[in-house]
Amino acid sequence: MIALIRTEFTKAASRTRSLVILLLLIGLPTLIVVAINARSGRPDRDGGEGLFRLASQSGLLVPAAVLSATSGFLLIVIAGTLAGDSVASDANWGNLRYLLMRPVSRARLLIAKAFVAGMLIWAATILVTLAALIAGLILFGAHPVTIPSLGGLLGTFNISGGALALRVLIATAYVAFGFSALLAIGTLFSTLTDTAASAIGATVGVYIVSEILNSITQLGQVRYAFPTHYLDAWETMFTQNTYSKEMIVGIVVQVAYLVVVGAVAIAVFDRKDIRS
Amino acid sequence: MSDVIVEVDGVSKRFGEVNAVEDFSFHVERGQVYGLLGPNGAGKSTTLRMIMGLERPNSGVTRLFGTAVTAGCPELTRVGAIVEQAAFVPHLSGMRNLKLWWMAGGGRMADADLDNALAIADLGEAIDRKVKTYSQGMKQRLGFARLLLGRPELLVLDEPTNGLDPGEIREIRELIGRLTHQGATVLLSSHHLSEVEQVCSHALVMNHGRLITSGTVSDLVGTTKSIYVEVDDRAAAHELLVQLPSVINVQMQGDGLVMVLRDGRRSDVGAALVSAGIRLETLMPTQRLEDAFLDLLAAGDGGAVPSLQAAQVSS
Ligand SMILES: Nc1ncnc2c1ncn2[C@@H]1O[C@H](COP(=O)(O)OP(=O)(O)O)[C@@H](O)[C@H]1O
Ligand SMILES: [Mg+2]
């Protein structure tokens, strides 16, 4: 298993694509921070997005703003790429049959591939936080922050630098773990096609659709089962000074997807006729 | 009792409406170089995939070294295979591909027959270049290197010279020759009659997923009284030949006509054609393997099969 993980990691990490993702994950957060800085000099006209408006108070709050901005799309696309690619790219190269005509269990190969994709998704999320944190600390320093609760209706509250750091850590882990369902779905799709692009497209598509449907409140409780419903539950740590219980529910939902969809992916892959 | 290495036992495989392989049986014994001959779409690759545990038969069973094959079964360590084209991770070097492939199977590099494999691949410095810069022939040689890493007892080679240029084809055939001299058991598929004749000790002919004929290559190739002619006016020649009492079973095949000579000599047929004013371009004996193979063409497989010329060159 360790050998499989190592070889799969080498294959995934050595792609040019990985370098592009790396640059994107450092570049985009830096750009966002620069934009926050540029805006903070100007008089505050309409206030802008909550976390963004507040972020210039402290470099420790910047990762929250950047995670909020990137987890809705950029990180989803990157995670979808990493997950959807795992089996399908080998199939695409015609290399999958050579991996499987050996005494290697298909379930283990699939788990190794998903594990590597999961590791890279975590690395991507951590990289976003780190890039934002470093840029933020350079531009704004490490200060405690004062945040208006519910846009000032309920007064303000303070978060100390230490608490901010802890919450950034929790937020990063929560966002990264929030891609577990996507990892499972992407891995399943990856076993179903020989074209990496379609597996990636389908995975990202499911997430975008889930986000769109999630925003239609008329759908009611069905939305609670969507993989994206609880993705932003961490933000109350910064906007309302509370650890939302929804974070726990969100984790449970992710675990459920991981287990159920993961089991389906293994079952599908195990029975599949390998032609590529 | 002889040592059966590969056994295909009443195997069928359907893809929707298509019966890719139908109630197909044969076996390969230790030391044999066994050819699976059939035109494109005959079911060769499907058969080899089922032997390698990549696909499951709808019915029947495949066995390796006496054990029923399942996906990723332990017997696969004793087999080295190329199924369809040799393929690799394109953005990694040839060397890196070999090592990763070996280690993914749980092996230690120290146990791999790397030096021998590299000598056989004979890629020189190119072994450290990315595989995406390789020609198909180089990939095929790297494919041989990869399958030899585990010192396999059985080689499964699916159309190993397909898509190569004539120089590369010669190299690969010589390589297979060397390996068989070293005593490897080989199961090789091909749609080139000449290849099977050249490399194999035993062969079977298959088409539409079914067995047509099988035996030792020398049996199959043993001379018969079948002959092949090419003329300018095939219709006229056909009309004439069916009336000759010494000739039976006249059939249009490829660009010419095939028939069986009941008695008399080949030159009699030539003389009869010429004296009827038909220009005779080619007249030659055909062989049973060729017959069996050519029958497949007659069965309507069209252009996907090699020309008779290609088959004749080697014989
Ligand atoms: N996945 C598939 N779906 C549908 N038909 C298939 C599939 N794989 C193979 N076939 C059909 O099965 C037959 C045998 O294919 P194959 O084993 O590749 O032949 P060969 O290797 O002798 O050229 C062909 O008619 C092919 O079209
Ligand atoms: Mg084939």
Structure tokens at B250: 């006249």
In a domain, A228, yes or no: yes
Q: Which residue has the higher pLDDT, A151 or B246?
A: B246
In a domain, B308, yes or no: no
- Which regions of chain B does DSSP assign to beta strands (E)? 4-15, 18-29, 33-37, 59-64, 67-68, 79-82, 154-158, 185-190, 202-207, 210-216, 223-231, 247-253, 256-261, 280-287
- Most distant CA pair in chain A, distance: 67
In a domain, A276, yes or no: no
Q: What is the mean pLDDT of residues B177-203?
A: 88
pLDDT value for B306: 40
Boundary-marking domain end, from B173, B188, B221? B221
pLDDT value for A171: 94
In a domain, A134, yes or no: yes
Report whether pLDDT(B167) > 90.
no
Q: What is the mean pLDDT of residues B170-187?
A: 87
In a domain, B290, yes or no: no
User: pLDDT for A129-150, tens place per residue?
Assistant: 999 999 999 988 888 888 777 6
In a domain, A184, yes or no: yes
Q: Which residue has the higher pLDDT, A258 or B122?
A: A258
Same domain, B102 and B30: yes
> Is B42's C-beta closer than 6 angstroms to any atom of ligand 1?
yes
> Is B38's C-beta closer than 6 angstroms to any atom of ligand 1?
yes
In a domain, B73, yes or no: yes
Same domain, B178 and B40: yes
Report whether pLDDT(B288) > 80.
no
As a whole number of Å, the CA-based R_g of chain A is: 20
Confidence of residue B310 (pLDDT cuts 50, 70, 90): very low
8 Å CB contact of A101 and B83: yes
B56 touches chain A (CB under 8 A): yes
Considering only CB atoms, which chain A residues are within 8 Å of B134? none
Q: What is the total count of domains within chain B? A: 2
Q: What is the mean pLDDT of residues B255-280?
A: 86
Q: What is the mean pLDDT of residues B262-283?
A: 87
pLDDT value for B162: 85
Q: pTM here?
A: 0.83
Confidence of residue B224 (pLDDT cuts 50, 70, 90): low
Closest CA relative to residue A190, chosen from A75, A77, A91, A76:
A91
Same domain, B111 and B192: yes
In a mutational test of the A interface, the residue from B54, B85, B162 whose CB has the highest number of chain A CBs within 10 Å is B54
Closest CA relative to residue B62, chosen from B129, B4, B121:
B4
Same domain, B205 and B279: no
pLDDT value for B294: 66
Considering only CB atoms, which chain A residues are within 8 Å of B158? none
Q: What is the mean pLDDT of chain B?
A: 86
Same domain, B149 and B88: yes
pLDDT value for A35: 85
Report whether pLDDT(B29) > 90.
yes
pLDDT value for A163: 86
Q: Which residue has the higher pLDDT, A51 or B206?
A: B206
CA of B197 to the centre of ligand 1 (A): 24
pLDDT value for A79: 93
Same domain, B177 and B260: no
B139 touches chain A (CB under 8 A): no
B104 touches chain A (CB under 8 A): yes
Report whether pLDDT(B261) > 90.
no
Residues of chain A with pLDDT under 50: 45-48
A93 touches chain B (CB under 8 A): yes
Residue of B12, B18, B206 best suited for mutating to test ligand 1, as the one with most atoms within 8 Å of CB: B18
Q: Which residue has the higher pLDDT, A50 or B122?
A: B122
| Residue-number span of the structural domain to which B251 is assigned | 226-285
pLDDT value for A94: 93
Q: What is the total count of domains within chain A? A: 1
Same domain, B246 and B203: no
Considering only CB atoms, which chain A residues are within 8 Å of B81? 101
> Is B46's C-beta closer than 6 angstroms to any atom of ligand 1?
yes
Report whether pLDDT(B51) > 80.
yes
* Ligand number nearest to the C-alpha of A275: 1
Cα separation of B287 and B37, whole Å?
Answer: 15
Half-sphere exposure of B300 (CA within 13 A, CB side): 1
Same domain, B44 and B181: yes
The CATH number of residue B58's host domain is 3.40.50.300
Considering only CB atoms, which chain A residues are within 8 Å of B79? 101
